Structure 1
């Protein structure tokens, strides 16, 4: 069995801490002992605990590759990078082709697809082994995991069992409206947990039927030919021979501020936070500025370089209604070498703070209007065409000349660009 985790997201649901590079699965807000971990780190730790990590791969976009490598101890050959974002069918097709044509995995191998960030216990991933057996011992072409619904929701697909205590499905409905979802629940329907199981041959056959190559390298070159559609709509709704397993233990989608804060063990994360008479309110502050909250109960206050959100918890899922321009300025990003944070948003000057970790390298192009100002830590700066270290505290750019920055210890500096 091979496990493929899908890592994507536009970074809107947990704005302003999340953006399209640091989506919700990468935000470190869940406590693990004395430290904080992200959702993806939690899931990877659980997968390691049941020894599935060597057979686990992550399908993601290029802008999330660096942060994945930074947060997880994962090999380069376990990350499958999509050339562009084309929804889950394309991502799953590319990953299946990678396993088959690059790694030589058998067509008869069972592949399990899962979101990269379910909030579950280890038993959820152990259930994948049972799902594999269901496919191997039956004629089902697709296997799913069903979750007992707590309310009619438009966020999930619905699995309608053929009959009680049966593994067969009579109907699969992807994201119905609330009224229809209620009718489905009355018929015994369950939420689809976002998990799909199939033999590699199933996906390869679908690609062949669509006259799309199954060779990984060719598929990369012709990626735009793949339908831009979810796997649920493109495959699952069209299949007739689908089985499922019911999962009855703890499962939760931490996709909004109200669901995430429910699972946080503290209500203040960050520096210089003061709350007075604000029960059940959470404050998360990534900046070095004071944040005070007075008499605001049941709220979330989130502060980052990308913006500030103040919302009641009940209405926090409406963050997607914020104007699109708010999401377009990605002021914070995590890279293999450290972090980058934009400090200004004016038309005449741009100031970006770079914080490099120990013994890292970074190449920067310096235009005529740019300056590099060293702040703290130990690092060396060279022009790319010279081995001579630049000793000056302030380095002035010229003619788009490239400089190489090497950190010895944690090295902090500014890039200032006058427009």
Structure 2
């Protein structure tokens, strides 16, 4: 299985915990199976290895994050370095050409692209393998993961499948709606767009050449700073007619907000912190109405 983990963002919605200097995916706030602290990146990578120890993992990231990735994952993981941030379509195109032109992976092979920061059970990565198998079959140009919605969220885009089968052709996509419209989408059988794509390399190799002016990976890298900032959803997914979606109804959280992050954490404080009865009436002072995470530092 070939996997591209998208890790270019800085998670500024979690400021000041996460910022350009210290991105959320590298902060060790979760515990592994033996009680050691691990980051989002380490957790996802460990889960991938649990399901498929032979998976070829490549992290698509900005050059400012390379040292952090090497420090946490070592040298066994591939890294597709973005010279600057240009959103997900340029990042995925560059990573795809990196796999093909630099690593020599066949254009007939499938790759699964997913975010680096989902908080999920291991069955999520079993589903990723199934997406890769579906992409190899070639019945659809793209295969997406659609997450079964638990409430009418305004934070996610929606995928409306043609049928209620586990695997279905996609009828249409809907951008992030308000709660009332989201509820209508869910009544129609809509799924949350989890930001996961599977395809044969040749599909994005061709799409990139159609939409961008370059010759190969090295030329694309050299011209990267001149590329338009555009998401993979807008540039590719919404233009493609031959797409399938696989339903995923397992545990899934997008840790992009303080609420979802603190819900996933096992502890209220990390490090040396003091919590007692003197800590009261904090809600009155918390004008933003967000959870407060306490991280202590050792002397």
TM-score normalized by the length of structure 2: 0.89
Partner of 1:274 in structure 2? 275
Partner of 1:143 in structure 2? 143
Tell me which of the two structures has the higher relative contact order, counting C-alpha pairs closer than 8 angstroms and 6 or more residues apart: 2
Residues 111 and 198 of structure 1 are in contact (CA less than 8 Å); yes or no, is this contact kept in structure 2?
Answer: yes
Residues 6 and 115 of structure 1 are in contact (CA less than 8 Å); yes or no, is this contact kept in structure 2?
Answer: yes
CA distance in 2, matches of 1:227, 1:6: 18
List gaps (5 residues or longer) in structure 1. Answer: 277-291, 300-309, 318-419
Within 5 Å, give how 1:116-127 maps onto structure 2. 116-127=116-127
Q: Secondary structure at the match of 1:48?
A: helix
Residues 8 and 23 of structure 1 are in contact (CA less than 8 Å); yes or no, is this contact kept in structure 2?
Answer: no
Partner of 1:29 in structure 2? 29
Offset of 1:123 from its aligned partner? 1.3
Residues 28 and 39 of structure 1 are in contact (CA less than 8 Å); yes or no, is this contact kept in structure 2?
Answer: yes
- Alignment partner of 1:199 is 2:185: no
Partner of 1:5 in structure 2? 5
Offset of 1:183 from its aligned partner? 2.3
Residues 109 and 136 of structure 2 are in contact (CA less than 8 Å); yes or no, is this contact kept in structure 1?
Answer: no
Offset of 1:43 from its aligned partner? 0.6
From the two aligned structures, give the one with the greater helix fraction.
Answer: 2
Give 1 or 2 for the bigger CA radius of gyration. Answer: 1
Offset of 1:53 from its aligned partner? 5.7
- Alignment partner of 1:315 is 2:266: no
Please give the per-residue CA displacement for 1:75-131, whole angstroms capped at 9, x wherever unaligned.
37x011101100000100000010111111111111100001111111111111211
CA distance in 2, matches of 1:139, 1:54: 23
Offset of 1:211 from its aligned partner? 4.5
CA distance in 1, matches of 2:227, 2:197: 19
Residues 82 and 91 of structure 2 are in contact (CA less than 8 Å); yes or no, is this contact kept in structure 1?
Answer: yes
Q: Summarize the Cα distance change of 1:213–1:293 in structure 2 as closer, same or farther, 3 Å threshold.
A: same
Within 5 Å, give how 1:395-406 maps onto structure 2. none
Q: Summarize the Cα distance change of 1:211–1:240 in structure 2 as closer, same or farther, 3 Å threshold.
A: same
CA distance in 2, matches of 1:247, 1:214: 37
Offset of 1:180 from its aligned partner? 3.2
Partner of 2:75 in structure 1? 74
Offset of 1:174 from its aligned partner? 3.2
Q: Summarize the Cα distance change of 1:254–1:238 in structure 2 as closer, same or farther, 3 Å threshold.
A: same
User: CA RMSD, aligned part only?
Assistant: 2.3
CA distance in 2, matches of 1:173, 1:74: 40
- 2:279 pairs, out of 282, 288, 293, with 293
CA distance in 2, matches of 1:176, 1:223: 32
Partner of 1:156 in structure 2? 156
Q: Secondary structure at the match of 1:139?
A: coil
Please give the per-residue CA displacement for 1:180-226, whole angstroms capped at 9, x wherever unaligned.
32322121100011100111111111122124225111111111343
CA distance in 2, matches of 1:254, 1:56: 21
The number of equivalent residue pairs is 291
Greater shift in the superposed pair: 239-248 or 17-26: 17-26
CA distance in 2, matches of 1:161, 1:79: 34
Offset of 1:31 from its aligned partner? 1.9
CA distance in 1, matches of 2:103, 2:234: 28
Please give the per-residue CA displacement for 1:255-312, whole angstroms capped at 9, x wherever unaligned.
1222111122222222242332xxxxxxxxxxxxxxx623436x9xxxxxxxxxx747
Partner of 2:97 in structure 1? 97
CA distance in 1, matches of 2:236, 2:208: 11
Q: Summarize the Cα distance change of 1:214–1:56 in structure 2 as closer, same or farther, 3 Å threshold.
A: farther
Residues 22 and 67 of structure 1 are in contact (CA less than 8 Å); yes or no, is this contact kept in structure 2?
Answer: no
Residues 89 and 227 of structure 1 are in contact (CA less than 8 Å); yes or no, is this contact kept in structure 2?
Answer: no
CA distance in 1, matches of 2:39, 2:229: 29
- Alignment partner of 1:264 is 2:262: no
Q: Secondary structure at the match of 1:151?
A: coil
Offset of 1:16 from its aligned partner? 1.5
From the two aligned structures, give the one with the greater strand fraction.
Answer: 1
Offset of 1:138 from its aligned partner? 4.5
CA distance in 2, matches of 1:115, 1:158: 17
List gaps (5 residues or longer) in structure 2. Answer: 292-299
